[in-house]
Amino acid sequence: MSETTTENPASSPPDSPETTASGAEPQISTPEFPPLSSEPGQKPGPEFSRFHDVQVSVAAELGRTRIPIQKLMQIGPGAVVELNRSISSPVELIAQGVPLASGEVVVINDCFAIRILEVYSGSMSAMQSGG
């Protein structure tokens, strides 16, 4: 029985030229891409219109606090957790974990709502999300 061995390209010596399946040496080149536009306020093109109906989670954050886990485990009905924002401070509107805007709490038809006071710029939302 004859034994056939095939050379593994990964185990080839680094200075030996690799070949394609046809036995020819591969042509290696760097791709050329059109320049990206970074103009602020530029509207997304039609290629993004398919995402217009995609739903994202949006939350309004009243404030935050840090408490020991032992105290957290003792929380029950009637407990009060103090937050880091005053009643007059705006709340943050957050989409998918990214702060987008701030506003004030209002009531519409017995439901909470947020009246937007400020929409953050791209750099502001990136800064506040830690990115």
Q: What is the pLDDT along the chain (131 residues), one digit of tens a residue?
A: 444 444 444 444 444 556 667 778 888 888 887 877 666 656 656 677 888 899 999 999 999 999 999 999 999 999 999 999 998 899 999 999 999 999 999 999 999 999 999 999 875 444 444 44
Tokens, residue 123: 């750099």
pTM: 0.52
Q: Given this model, what pLDDT does residue 125 score? A: 43
Q: Which residue has the tokens 């830690």?
A: 130
Q: Given this model, what pLDDT does residue 5 score? A: 46
Tokens, residue 13: 């010596």
Q: Given this model, what pLDDT does residue 19 score? A: 65
**Alpha carbon 98 to chain centroid, angstroms:** 7
Q: Given this model, what pLDDT does residue 36 score? A: 72
Query: Mapping DSSP to helix (H, G, I), strand (E, B) and coil, where does residue 64 land?
Result: coil
Give the span between the Cα atoms of 103 and 86, in whole angstroms. 13
Selection from 98, 94, 103, 100 nearest residue 121 by Cα:
100
Q: Where are the domains of the chain?
A: 89-131
Selection from 131, 90, 86, 98 nearest residue 114 by Cα:
90
Selection from 70, 58, 38, 52 nearest residue 98 by Cα:
58
Selection from 92, 84, 83, 87 nearest residue 116 by Cα:
92
Give the span between the Cα atoms of 27 and 20, in whole angstroms. 10
Q: Given this model, what pLDDT does residue 45 score? A: 60
